[in-house]
Amino acid sequence: MLNNALLFLLHTILGLLSLLFLLRFYFQLTKVSFQNQAAQIIVSLTNFAVQPMRRLMTSLRNLGVAKLDISTLLLAYLTQLVLTLLSLWLKDFPLWIVGNSIWLAILSVALIGVISLSLTIFLYAVLIQAILSWINPHTPIAPILNNLTHPILSLMRRFIPPVGNVDLSPLIFIITAQLLLVTLLIPIENSLLSTL
C-alpha cells in the first residue's frame, strides 16, 4: 500500500518535472516568447536545476551546441532515469546485482519516456490549439501554442493541402502521434520493461 502511494507520488512529481524541463527546451527551440506569464512560470520552476546544469556544461559552448539548451533536455532525461530507477527499486528489483544488459534497458526506458513525453506535449499543444481556434483564437496562450506547433504543422502543410479551406494538418498530426505512441513507443517500452 505504501509502495503504491510512493510510486504515485514519484510518477506525479518527477513526471511533472520532466514535463517542465521539456517544455522549457521546446519553448527555446521554437522561440516562444519568455515574456509570457506561462513561460515565466516554467523558467522560475526549473531554474533551480537548469542554472547549475548550464554551469557544468559550459564546455559545450566551444563545440557550437550553445544555440540549443541541451542542459534542460539532459535534465529531462535524468529525471526520467531517476523515475525509472526509483520505480524499480520500490518494486524490489535487485538493481545493484543485475548485469550490464539490464542497465542498457533501463537507460533505454528513460529515453523512450522522454520521446513519449515530447510527442505528448506536441499532441496536446496541437489539440488545444485546434479547439481554441474554434472557441477563442485570441486567448493569451494562443501565441505560445502557435510558436510551439508552427514548425511541425508548417512541415505537414507542405504535403497536405487544405480541403475546402479547412486545414487538415492538425488532425493528421494528432492521428500520426497517437499511432506512434500506441504502435511503436508504448510496445517498445513494454518490451524493455518485460526484460527487467
pLDDT tens per residue, range 112-141: 999 999 999 999 999 999 999 889 888 888
Which tens digit of pLDDT belongs to each residue from 151-183?
A: 999 999 898 888 888 888 999 999 999 999 999
Write out pLDDT tens, residues 46-78: 999 999 988 887 766 655 555 566 889 999 999
**Cβ distance 173 to 124 under 8 Å?**
no
- Estimate the crossing angle of helix 169-180 against helix 142-159, to 10 degrees: 90
Burial class (CB in 10 A: 0-12, 13-18, 19+), 138: exposed
The rounded distance, in Å, linking the Cα atoms of 149 and 110 is: 25
Q: Read off the pTM.
A: 0.89
Q: Where are the alpha helices (DSSP H) in 30-141?
A: 37-56, 70-90, 100-135
pLDDT of residue 69: 67
| CA–CA dist 50, 52 (Å, integer) | 6
**3-class DSSP state of 190:** helix
Place of cell 511541425: 152
